[in-house]
Structure 1
Amino acid sequence: MHPPIDLDAYLRRIDYRATAAPDLPTLRGLVAAHAAAIPFENLTPWLGLRVDLELPAIERKLLHDGRGGYCFEQNLLLQAALRAIGFEVSALIARVLWRQTDDTMTAQTHMLLRVDLDGETRLVDVGFGSQTLTDALRLQADIEQPTPLEPFRLVRMDSDWCMQSRVHGVWRPLYRFDLHTPYPVDLVVANHYVSTYPASRFTAHLIAARVDGDNRLSLLDREFTVRRSGHEPEHRTLRDGAEIRRVLEQRFRLRLPLHADLDRRLDELPA
């Protein structure tokens, strides 16, 4: 038995106004709306706080507190919403290859979703930061699949699948995965690792990302980047903690948490 979600609150949060039904137009619309409305961000582990994967905690944070989250929070929230609408959906776990070589064997630290619909399998992922999917991909190898932003494709790697996106004309691997559904405890362990391990990017750096129309916004510590299709990325180094706060609030649409060390930590970010 899966815990219920406040579906009305979710649909309001992502500003989805069409009728929600377990069909492909709804799936595609929800993914696009979610990616635009709920930013990817790691403020909780970056501040040394626990990331709670229980659905009520995720709802409170992402739906009611004006926050975002990373892959486990984002995709668990979407999974609960899809189930409430009537979709057949399950979790998958992946090894991140972004900025790695294809044969690098990384830990299983990323979550995505499998949706079985009308005899076809679709993959959705609203939690991969600066390369978050904005559409539902067919589980089919070696075909370029357009999305509202970059094209994506899936290729086979031995017994695994590899998700790739085409960035500046080059196909780059995002992650590799198989179709085995992990036990919930596997997600808990992976979440604990990425949110507490000292060398994890999520504890060592401030990260945020959001889809803004046909643009991708990203923040890594003080570096704010806007990527527009067909254009060179625009990079800007933010001056101080006050400017970082403004960018997080205005461009990423985040309601920042009340935390005694937040302003100090923002000011101390490396240039």
Structure 2
Amino acid sequence: MNTTTSQETEAIRATTEIDLDAYLQRIGYTGERTPTLETLRSIQRLHVETFPFENLNPLLGIPVLLDIDALQRKMIYGGRGGYCFEQNRLLSFVLKALGFRVRGLAARVLWNVPEGETKPITHQVLRVEVGDESYLVDVGFGGLSPTGPLRLALHTVQTTPHEPFRLIELDDELVIQAYVKEEWKSLYRLTLREFRLPDYQMFSWYLCTYPGSYFTSSLAVARTIPDRRYGLRNTLLTIHHLGGASEQRELTSVAEFRTVLKDIFQIQLPEAPNLDPTLQRLIDEAAAAKITA
């Protein structure tokens, strides 16, 4: 009689499909390979430092593939980052291979969304069990990706290597908030219902093909290091210093764009024929917007 549970089956599959050694080498992790909170904290912090959030694929019309082989080719071996479905799905394989129990969740984004407006489900989050405690782990929310796991506990301020976070309850859902500029800002809302690969493939396809999707027309890049967060929205580069001021500058040439993407965000740029024309379009649109403002 086969008594293997679905969680155990997924862990076995993850162990055989993920190149764990290559991933850990890529992020520079040399600690214990055990499913402890210390391991989880270290890997989450190193992941967001290593893999930039970036949407170059949908912006350039390149398919976003969520199978583990494609994710490894792109992110582990290819020097690229990705957006939430790529980032958190890759991490889920890593954590399962290390012995963690992981479930996929999904969320509606609230960040920069007018109050009362409802957005579709377009974000992936992980629920990770460590002993008897449950944590939310998210390495794919761009410029405000939590740099540490968040215990599944309401109305408790939780410190991370960067901003404090908390979970509150709203209409039978959980809302994740970050403390930014002395104010609690809502990032997204979710339930604890489990989602699977076909769900994420559908959500991701929507983001890559819907005419009104930000990711198909605009550039969003982010990377976090110990003392700062970098963000790039189209041509505007922002550097948020931890506990200090922010600075901004406008990118005005394709050469400057390429240098910033490679040096600051550590992206090995895709060899796409429309990359430079797309970057130039963003520059031209920014210049035109200033003229009409």
* TM-score under structure 2 length normalisation: 0.90
- 1:102, distance to aligned residue in structure 2 (A): 5.2
Query: Does the 8 Å contact 1:102/1:173 carry over to 2?
Result: no
Structure showing greater radius of gyration is: 2
- In the other structure, the counterpart of 1:88 is 101
Q: 1:77 aligns with which of 66, 70, 90?
A: 90
Is structure 2 residue 203 aligned with structure 1 residue 199? no
* TM-score under structure 1 length normalisation: 0.98
- 1:213, distance to aligned residue in structure 2 (A): 1.8
Higher helix share: 2
- In the other structure, the counterpart of 2:195 is 182
Aligned partner letter, 2:184 = W
Mapping for residues 1-271 of structure 1, pairs under 5 Å: 1-2=9-10, 3=13, 4-101=17-114, 103-269=116-282, 270-271=285-286
CA distance in 2, matches of 1:80, 1:212: 23
- 1:104, distance to aligned residue in structure 2 (A): 3.1
CA distance in 2, matches of 1:104, 1:23: 39
Q: Give CA-to-partner distance per residue, 1:7-38, whole Å, 9 cap, x none.
A: 00110111111122111000000000001001
Closer, same or farther: CA 102–123 of 1 in aligned 2, 3 Å: farther
Tell me how many residue pairs correspond in the alignment.
Answer: 271
CA distance in 2, matches of 1:32, 1:229: 15
Gapped runs of 5+ residues in structure 2?
Answer: 1-8, 287-293
Query: Does the 8 Å contact 1:165/1:172 carry over to 2?
Result: yes
CA distance in 2, matches of 1:13, 1:233: 29
SS of 2:62 mapped into structure 1: coil
- 1:100, distance to aligned residue in structure 2 (A): 1.8
CA distance in 2, matches of 1:218, 1:193: 24
CA distance in 1, matches of 2:115, 2:229: 24
Q: Give CA-to-partner distance per residue, 1:98-145, whole Å, 9 cap, x none.
A: 012454321110001000111110010000001011001100111111
CA distance in 2, matches of 1:216, 1:230: 11
**Root-mean-square deviation over aligned CA pairs:** 1.1
CA distance in 2, matches of 1:178, 1:97: 14
SS of 1:268 mapped into structure 2: helix
CA distance in 2, matches of 1:127, 1:213: 17
- 1:261, distance to aligned residue in structure 2 (A): 1.1
Aligned partner letter, 1:126 = V
CA distance in 2, matches of 1:15, 1:225: 26
CA distance in 2, matches of 1:21, 1:95: 32
Query: Does the 8 Å contact 1:109/1:191 carry over to 2?
Result: yes
CA distance in 1, matches of 2:25, 2:243: 32
Query: Does the 8 Å contact 1:58/1:77 carry over to 2?
Result: yes
CA distance in 2, matches of 1:11, 1:207: 26
CA distance in 2, matches of 1:254, 1:17: 23
Aligned partner letter, 1:255 = Q
CA distance in 2, matches of 1:36, 1:187: 24
CA distance in 2, matches of 1:187, 1:98: 20
SS of 2:201 mapped into structure 1: helix
Identity between Structure 1 and Structure 2 (%):
43
